Structure 1
Amino acid sequence: MTRIDARFAQLRRESRSAFVSFVMAGDPDPKTSLQIIKALPKAGADLIEIGMPFTDPMADGPSIQAAGLRALKAGMTLKKTLALVGEFRKDDDATPLVLMGYYNPIYIYGVEKFLSDAKTAGVDGLIIVDLPAEEDEELCLPALKAGLNFIRLATPTTDDKRLPAVLANTSGFVYYVSITGITGAAAADSKIVAEAVARIKRHTDLPVCVGFGIKTPEAAQAIAERANGAVVGTALVDALRASLDVDGQATAGTVNAVAELAASLAQGVRGARQAAE
């Protein structure tokens, strides 16, 4: 059982949904990024997705693209991202950490070495947005063998014919993308989400978490009432950006800006009625 499996088992016992936070590794700099990630569990994050900075993030909206560029400018690499996870694990061995991003940096790093180093650092799962189910032998199956969850994305265009292939080797949870388009592009419609989550659950017993288009505590609560988790990224990244100085550097308020918003979002999720199983 991974930390992700254990956390969702705990949430089921508590009859509540998960608040899943996303931040970019190394944004706005490696030191501040680590402080932010350390602050998120205290703010109420049940799981943390950590973006792996990449030069061509095709699924990301302007805010998360900018976060990746800030991180790259600050010298963040995949190796340093794994080191960041290792530093986090020195004080927190319970909070699940998921690396989210694109396959190219992993391919360049070397799949076998990456999986070994990720496992050693304390990574629990991967979300790789540009690897379809047809490419499972590239990374998904080796990741599962290494003891990491491989979390697949389902979208509004994933129909019932396609869904079994998407879910075949998925573990940990299913990430439902609530909108068609890039991150931060639109608001999630909770009624449509509820229908989609119910449809996915007809095909799997895995928890279903919903992301893209959730920016406020009220929106997080509405989604959490219909799914097993609400994922928020763009709003947190925007709060970070707004706290930076004119040169794009961290200020004394940067960590608190992200943590305070995370706390309000977590409160929204915790205010939700028990999500449908």
Structure 2
Amino acid sequence: MDPLEAKFQELRDRREGAHMAHLYYGDPCEDFSLKLAETLVENGADIIELGIPFSDPTADGPVFQAACERALKAGVTPVRCIEAIAKLRKSGVKAPIVVTTYFNIPYVMGFEKFLDMVKAAGAQGLLIPDLPLEEAGPYLELAAERDLHLLLQVAPTTSKERLEHILRVATGFIYLISHEGVTGAKLKWPNSALKRIGDIKARSAVPVVVGFGISRREQVEIIMSAGADGVVVGSAYAKIYSQNLLNPFELLPEIARLVHEIKIGCKKVTPPFSRLNLKIRKMVEK
């Protein structure tokens, strides 16, 4: 069992959901990103999603767009992002790492070379938001040959036919986008997203992790009670440290507190007929 699958099994055994924490490497500097990743893991993040800054991050909202711009201005490159994975491993970070990148970056580097570097550095998965399912086949195979998971995304608007196709080829976990829009946008709990969690769980054993717009423990509790296997939080952490870009290290204790709260929300301790579950049932049945 690879480290990503083993992590989900470990969490299932403990009746916990996974907290995947996203950061864009190099914002506002590389030393801070390394310390941020360590802080996230030390305080409850089960998986690190390490983003490679890109000039046109179409799936991201203003917070992460600004993070990408700052990192690029600081001189961060894809190679240095990949090297950071090895640095985190050397410093003792054992949590699974998922690399998020827009397709242009591995395309320019050469996809196989990119995968080889990511694998050698110590990552377990890869997420490419702008790679459509119809074009993903060859890249899924190349990733599988290297024991890497090329993770796929599902939206509340994904058709049943498209969902079935995704579930047939998905490994690692399904990234369920909570709402239409971009990262960091205010989450409005569309019933379609909550229903989609159940749809996926009924059809596949692949874990479901929900992302976009999640920033509070209460939101996480609702997602977990709806049957998800984990959540993704990212912009909320960037919002905190961006309050003091001259010395973001001062904000790490505040980030640590939020990570801890998010992780508490991931614990599946809600009784089957609690008020929270009844609330979820009413929302989904409407």
Normalising to structure 2: TM-score of the pair? 0.89
More helix by proportion, 1 or 2? 2
Q: Is contact 1:150–1:169 with CA below 8 Å preserved after alignment?
A: no
Q: Hey, what's the Cα distance between the residues in 1 that align with 2:225 and 2:32?
A: 33
Q: Report how far residue 169 of structure 1 moved.
A: 2.3
Letter in 1 for 2:235: T
Q: Hey, what's the Cα distance between the residues in 2 that align with 1:218 and 1:68?
A: 28
Aligned residue runs from structure 1 range 141-160, under 5 A: 141-160=141-160
Q: Report how far residue 188 of structure 1 moved.
A: 4.5
Aligned residue runs from structure 1 range 123-162, under 5 A: 123-162=123-162
- After superposition, the C-alpha distances for 1:140-187 in whole angstroms (9 at most, x for unaligned) are 220111110111000011121111222332210001001011112221
Per the alignment, residue 233 of structure 1 pairs with 234
Q: Hey, what's the Cα distance between the residues in 2 that align with 1:185 and 1:251?
A: 23
Q: Report how far residue 272 of structure 1 moved.
A: 5.0
> Residue 237 and residue 16 in structure 1: after superposition, are their counterparts in 2 closer, same or farther (change >3 A)?
same
Q: Is contact 2:154–2:177 with CA below 8 Å preserved after alignment?
A: yes
Aligned residue runs from structure 1 range 30-49, under 5 A: 30-49=30-49
Using the TM superposition, name which of 130-139 and 197-206 deviates more.
130-139
- After superposition, the C-alpha distances for 1:35-91 in whole angstroms (9 at most, x for unaligned) are 100111111001111111000111110001111111111111110011110000113
Q: Identity across aligned pairs (percent)?
A: 35
Per the alignment, residue 116 of structure 1 pairs with 116
Q: Report how far residue 213 of structure 1 moved.
A: 1.8
Which aligned runs of 4 or more in structure 1 are off by greater than 4 angstroms?
A: none
The structure number with the bigger radius of gyration is: 2
Per the alignment, residue 172 of structure 1 pairs with 172
What SS does structure 1 have at the residue aligned with 2:99? strand
> Residue 55 and residue 127 in structure 1: after superposition, are their counterparts in 2 closer, same or farther (change >3 A)?
same
Per the alignment, residue 5 of structure 2 pairs with 5
Q: Report how far residue 262 of structure 1 moved.
A: 1.5
Q: Hey, what's the Cα distance between the residues in 1 that align with 2:230 and 2:61?
A: 21
Q: Is contact 2:41–2:93 with CA below 8 Å preserved after alignment?
A: no
Letter in 1 for 2:7: R
Q: Hey, what's the Cα distance between the residues in 1 that align with 2:123 and 2:200?
A: 26
Q: Hey, what's the Cα distance between the residues in 2 that align with 1:24 and 1:272?
A: 32
> Residue 60 and residue 252 in structure 1: after superposition, are their counterparts in 2 closer, same or farther (change >3 A)?
closer
Aligned residue runs from structure 1 range 1-277, under 5 A: 1-92=1-92, 94-189=94-189, 192-226=192-226, 227-244=228-245, 249-270=246-267, 273=270
Q: Report how far residue 254 of structure 1 moved.
A: 3.4
Q: Is contact 1:18–1:224 with CA below 8 Å preserved after alignment?
A: no
> Residue 271 and residue 6 in structure 1: after superposition, are their counterparts in 2 closer, same or farther (change >3 A)?
closer
Q: Hey, what's the Cα distance between the residues in 2 that align with 1:3 and 1:188?
A: 33
What SS does structure 1 have at the residue aligned with 2:20? strand
What SS does structure 1 have at the residue aligned with 2:171? coil
Provide the aligned C-alpha RMSD in A: 1.9
Aligned length: 272
Q: Report how far residue 230 of structure 1 moved.
A: 1.2
Q: Hey, what's the Cα distance between the residues in 1 that align with 2:175 and 2:269?
A: 19
Normalising to structure 1: TM-score of the pair? 0.92
Q: Report how far residue 271 of structure 1 moved.
A: 6.3
Q: Hey, what's the Cα distance between the residues in 1 that align with 2:105 and 2:30?
A: 18
Using the TM superposition, name which of 249-258 and 259-268 deviates more.
249-258
Q: Report how far residue 190 of structure 1 moved.
A: 7.3
Q: Hey, what's the Cα distance between the residues in 1 that align with 2:243 and 2:266?
A: 24
Q: Hey, what's the Cα distance between the residues in 2 that align with 1:274 and 1:175?
A: 26
Q: Is contact 2:19–2:44 with CA below 8 Å preserved after alignment?
A: yes
What SS does structure 1 have at the residue aligned with 2:169? coil
- After superposition, the C-alpha distances for 1:196-226 in whole angstroms (9 at most, x for unaligned) are 1011123311010111121111112221222
Q: Is contact 1:243–1:257 with CA below 8 Å preserved after alignment?
A: no
Unaligned runs of 5+ in 1: none
Q: Hey, what's the Cα distance between the residues in 1 that align with 2:121 and 2:39?
A: 19
